Amino acid sequence: MDLYTHCGIRYLQVGVDWFERVGGPLVKDGNPPTGWGNPSQPGRVTVADDVATFTDDAGHEESFTKLAKPPSSATNCA
């Protein structure tokens, strides 16, 4: 799957479920940190209970917790 990273790493959508990054957004100057693709990063996601884990071939591993509802459009980056 491709993780949207354009404005940093904050949300992950898996099917109809939305998840938010554990520890808050991972952002550097409004973009993903060095070493991440922009606007997205290819990788794999595993879901166990209410936690989704994103991993990729670059060695990134990020955990996300399931949200009760999708994030509001006001929190999404343009």
Give residue-wise pLDDT tens across range 11-63.
Answer: 999 999 999 999 999 999 889 999 999 999 999 999 999 999 999 999 999 99
**What's this model's pTM, rounded to 2 decimal places?**
0.90
Q: What is the pLDDT of residue 27?
A: 93
Q: What is the pLDDT of residue 77?
A: 61
Strands (E), the chain: 2-4, 11-14, 17-21, 40-42, 44-48, 51-55, 61-66
Element (H, E) at 44: strand 44-48
Determine the length of the chain. Answer: 78
**Three-state secondary-structure class, residue 61:** strand
Asked if 14 and 45 count as a contact pair (C-beta separation under 8 A), the reply is yes
Cα distance between residue 66 and residue 70, in whole Å: 9
Q: What is the pLDDT of residue 30?
A: 86
Q: What is the pLDDT of residue 72?
A: 85
Is it the case that residue 78 has pLDDT exceeding 60?
A: no
